[in-house]
Amino acid sequence: MGDKTLKYARIIATGSALPERVVTNADLEKLVETSDEWIRTRTGIRERRVSNAEETTGELGYRAALQALERAGVKASDLDLIVVGTTTPDIIFPSTACLIQHRLGANGCAAFDVNAACSGFVYALGVADKFIRSGQTRKALVIGAETLTRMVDWNERETCVLFGDGAGAVVLEASDEPGILATCMHADGGYKDLLYNPVGVSAGFKDEPNHGVRINMSGREVFKVAVKTLDSLVGETLAAAGMHESDIDWLIPHQANLRIIEATAKRLKMSMDRVIVTVDKHANTSSGSVPLALDEAVCSGKVQRGQNLLLEAFGGGFTWASALLRY
């Protein structure tokens, strides 16, 4: 159980998992009328991973979690909490968190999913931070896992070039050393029609390919709101932590579009060599994107212990969220 004297939630290890299959922009040129040049210049994406039938959200999340736990030296049975950010659960219920919990052998701890679309992982991290700060939880596993390509209409060039699959995970531990310093979470359901999947259990499915499951997106409008919203979000997060732009060592943004990432970096007066970019290799993996980028940054040696990281994300809802932490 938790200890109220321990103030912070600290990331003690990260992990990630990607599907085997790489789909390049050149591969997509064979499916729809597009070009590598168009995709690269508009989005920064060069390739993405696409999962096979066995590589479900739960499977990718499980692999990422196992790696994070091994690196942390934490036994699954010691976990008090598992939170999974996902908008593409394996099945409707039980939650993907419960499926992963059982495979890990962490049965008995609290486990649930958070659906905040692409902001899912950062939301989940914020939720786990609150559990740890409350003293109720000592060790938590937070996962962002998605198979968004299951929703992609491969005939629609406006969306099919943008998305990929993958998962990342972190193990959090209660600590008296900083840790997560500030988290912010927001949503505005008034923007639903700009980015949504039109069908579901209660609203019903359609007599269409893939039962009507698809991504509806007004790309240009999403782009504009994302840039504006992230601009104010990073200011809010810095203020909440009592920090300045110059205190941030690394920006680890949601990987949807390189131009959106560049706009946020500019707002923070950060050069792009202090920004973790994986959108070129992973495309938009929704909740998977931030923890995948974090894990890559840690494994490459870029992110070092004691540095300040700003994580942020934006997604369908609209939702937007951030976490400023000392790694």
Q: CB-hemisphere CA count at 13 Å for 197?
A: 24
Q: Examine residue 38 and tell whether it contacts ligand COA (CB under 6 A).
A: yes
With respect to ligand COA, which residue has the nearer C-beta, 69 or 283? 283
Tell whether the torsion through CA atoms of 232, 233, 234 and 236 is positive or negative.
Answer: positive
**Per the omega criterion (within 30 degrees of 0), is the bond before 291 cis?**
no
Q: Which two tokens stand for residue 54?
A: 């066995």
Whole-angstrom CA distances from 307 to 41, 80, 223, 245, 326 are 32, 27, 30, 13, 6
- Please say if 184 is a catalytic residue: no
- Please say if 244 is a catalytic residue: no
- Please say if 102 is a catalytic residue: no
Residue of the chain from 210, 223, 225, 240 that contacts ligand COA (CB under 6 A): 223
Per CB under 6 A, contacts with ligand COA among 103-122 are 118
Q: Which two tokens stand for residue 203?
A: 């609203």
Q: Examine residue 153 and tell whether it contacts ligand COA (CB under 6 A).
A: no
Residue of the chain from 21, 22, 34, 308 that contacts ligand COA (CB under 6 A): 34
Q: Which two tokens stand for residue 31?
A: 């499916």
Smallest separation, CB 220 to ligand COA (Å): 4
Distance from C-alpha of 300 to C-alpha of 321, rounded to nearest angstrom? 25
Distance from C-alpha of 164 to C-alpha of 230, rounded to nearest angstrom? 22
Distance from C-alpha of 103 to C-alpha of 22, rounded to nearest angstrom? 27
Q: Which of 160, 254, 257, 282 is labelled catalytic? A: 254
Smallest separation, CB 278 to ligand COA (Å): 14
With respect to ligand COA, which residue has the nearer C-beta, 76 or 230? 230
Q: Examine residue 256 and tell whether it contacts ligand COA (CB under 6 A).
A: yes
Whole-angstrom CA distances from 119 to 18, 75, 178, 229 are 19, 28, 23, 13
Q: What is the DSSP letter of 246?
A: G
Of 48-56, 140-148, 157-165, 229-237, the window that binds ligand COA (rule: CB under 6 A) is 157-165
With respect to ligand COA, which residue has the nearer C-beta, 76 or 321? 321
Per CB under 6 A, contacts with ligand COA among 286-315 are 314-315
User: Which amino acids are annotated catalytic?
Assistant: 118, 254, 284
Positions touching ligand COA (CB under 6 A) are 34, 38-39, 42-43, 118, 157-158, 161, 217, 219-220, 222-223, 256-257, 284, 314-315
